[in-house]
């Protein structure tokens, strides 16, 4: 197969040729042309959440997790108390980051098959006034659950607690409107629903809390307050930026806007999701989650209950037919995951389902139907 393999993962994603071609030019990190690209990207990101009046956006080198760590260290004071709403692996990672940053951390746990409960958050905040910040993963891609951002934000607002949102896998596809939803920080990355390439995160910080962030981070490289101040004064990044990643994101955002922005991206991903569910069900696969709480980002499927099935062999067989899947991240039951996002549409999803059918045949596992 001559074409690149299609990535059915929650990021990195399959990107367009236009996005790839944007990376063929070298850029000077202090050059005015590159600084103009950075400014354009920052403006476009604020446009997506309608956040120009309420928030600033700070880009940061590295994967999305770098930005999560930077946000917690920059937003939460050293004597702060973080409450992490936990229904998956990325929630647990946020809790570990909080503890490693030396912040007091409490975990409010939920099953990985259900959304976090705003009523339980309400009770936790009423019981413990020392909590200063709440961390929410908007789309927990361990299983694919969409958590109730607005309801959680309303509870945090009522108790005057800072809300830090990991919107890594939702930003650009699921609506987030800073005019309606109060958050102190919201974190996303280049290689997710904006369909750029990995290597850059960005954090929206509420202007009302920005000045209090000065001097909080114990890190030089990951201090978002210093990064913001330097960008504002010089238009440049403090340290060498991932230039090719930034220009690829700039080009990806232009395509995002031309497609119709967040509503259009959600519509395409939803169609991908519905096509995937329909095709996989015909092959006998059952999704792990109730459709009511499933985000159209990544779908967890129960693995076949067949003695010839193991994920590594299944992965290799599907890969041989041109598609890369994702392993399951659940411990209770054996699963695998299939992403619905990236520069793909209904045709690619239909081809992916056919590849799964061929892989099952290759492994000697009976296919329900095709």
pLDDT in tens, 293-305: 999 999 999 999 9
Residue 368 lies in a domain: no
- pLDDT above 90: residue 167: yes
Per-residue burial over 116-146, b if 16 or more Cβ lie within 10 Å, else e, is bbbeebbebbeeeeebbbbbbbbbbbbbbbb
Residue 1 lies in a domain: no
Give the CATH number of the domain where residue 293 resides: 3.90.1150.10
Last residue of a domain, one of 207, 241, 258: 258
CA distances from 75 to 44, 67, 101, 205, 334 (A): 23, 12, 11, 9, 37
- Are residues 93 and 192 located together in one domain of the fold? yes
Instruction: Dump pLDDT digits (tens) for 253-310.
Output: 999 999 999 999 999 999 999 999 999 999 999 999 999 999 999 999 999 999 999 9
- Are residues 356 and 238 located together in one domain of the fold? no
Handedness of CA 39, 215, 62, 257 (dihedral sign): negative
Residue 144 lies in a domain: yes
- Whether the full predicted model's pTM is greater than 0.85, yes or no, is yes
Q: 120: which 2 tokens?
A: 């339980």
Q: For the chain, what is the domain count? A: 2
Residue 358 lies in a domain: yes
Q: Model confidence at 367, in pLDDT bands (50, 70, 90)? A: confident
Cα 138 to its chain centre, rounded Å, is 8
Q: Are 299 and 336 in contact (CB under 8 A)?
A: no
**pLDDT at residue 331, rounded to an integer:** 67
Q: Model confidence at 366, in pLDDT bands (50, 70, 90)? A: confident
- pLDDT above 60: residue 369: no
Give the CATH number of the domain where residue 31 resides: 3.40.640.10
Residue 242 lies in a domain: yes
The pLDDT of 147-164, averaged and rounded, is: 98
Q: How far apart are CA 139 and CA 146, in angstroms?
A: 5
* Cβ neighbours, 10 Å, residue 230: 16
- Are residues 157 and 108 located together in one domain of the fold? yes
- pLDDT above 60: residue 370: no
- Are residues 215 and 298 located together in one domain of the fold? no
Q: How far apart are CA 324 and CA 188, in angstroms?
A: 23
Q: How far apart are CA 37 and CA 218, in angstroms?
A: 29
- Are residues 287 and 245 located together in one domain of the fold? no
Q: How far apart are CA 342 and CA 355, in angstroms?
A: 18
Q: How far apart are CA 295 and CA 193, in angstroms?
A: 13
- Are residues 190 and 333 located together in one domain of the fold? no
The pLDDT of 10-34, averaged and rounded, is: 96
- Are residues 278 and 150 located together in one domain of the fold? no
CA nearest 197: which of 257, 249, 242?
A: 249
- Are residues 266 and 243 located together in one domain of the fold? no
Dihedral through CA 286, CA 291, CA 293, CA 295, nearest 10? Answer: 80
Which structural domain, as residue segments, surrounds residue 326?
A: 6-11+261-363
Which value, in Å, is the radius of gyration of the alpha carbons in the chain?
A: 21
Contacts of residue 357, Cβ cutoff 8 Å, sequence gap at least 6: 283, 367, 370
């Amino acid at each position: 197969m001559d074409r690149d393999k299609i990535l059915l993962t929650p990021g990195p994603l399959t990107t367009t040729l236009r996005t790839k071609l944007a990376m063929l030019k070298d850029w000077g990190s202090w050059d005015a042309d590159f600084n103009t690209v950075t400014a354009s990207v920052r403006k476009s990101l604020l446009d997506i959440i309608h956040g120009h009046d309420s928030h600033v956006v700070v880009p940061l080198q590295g994967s999305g997790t770098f930005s999560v760590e930077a946000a917690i260290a920059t937003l939460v004071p050293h004597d702060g108390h973080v409450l992490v709403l936990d229904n998956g692996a990325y929630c647990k990672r946020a809790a570990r980051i909080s503890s490693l940053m030396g912040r007091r951390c409490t975990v409010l746990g939920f099953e990985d098959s259900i959304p976090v409960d705003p009523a339980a958050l309400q009770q936790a905040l009423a019981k413990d006034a020392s909590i200063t910040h709440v961390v929410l993963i908007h789309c927990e891609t361990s299983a694919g659950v969409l958590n109730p951002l607005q309801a959680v934000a309303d509870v945090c607002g009522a108790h005057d607690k800072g809300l830090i949102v990991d919107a890594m896998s939702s930003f650009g596809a699921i609506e987030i409107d800073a005019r309606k939803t109060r958050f102190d920080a919201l974190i996303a990355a280049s290689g997710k629903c904006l369909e750029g390439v990995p290597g850059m995160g960005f954090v929206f910080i509420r202007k009302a809390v920005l000045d209090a962030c000065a001097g909080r981070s114990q890190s030089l490289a990951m201090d978002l307050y210093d990064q913001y101040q330097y960008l504002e004064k010089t238009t440049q990044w403090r340290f060498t930026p991932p230039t090719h990643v930034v220009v690829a994101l700039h080009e990806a955002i232009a395509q995002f806007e031309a497609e119709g922005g967040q509503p259009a991206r959600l519509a395409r991903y939803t169609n991908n999701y519905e096509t995937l569910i329909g095709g996989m069900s015909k092959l006998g696969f059952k999704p792990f989650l109730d459709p009511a709480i499933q985000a159209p980002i990544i779908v967890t499927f129960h693995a076949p209950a067949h003695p010839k099935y193991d994920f590594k062999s299944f992965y290799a067989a599907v890969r041989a037919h041109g598609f890369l899947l994702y392993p399951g991240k659940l411990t209770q039951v054996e699963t695998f995951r299939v992403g619905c996002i990236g520069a793909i549409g209904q045709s690619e999803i239909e081809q992916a389902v056919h590849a799964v059918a061929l892989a099952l045949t290759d492994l000697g596992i009976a296919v329900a139907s095709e």
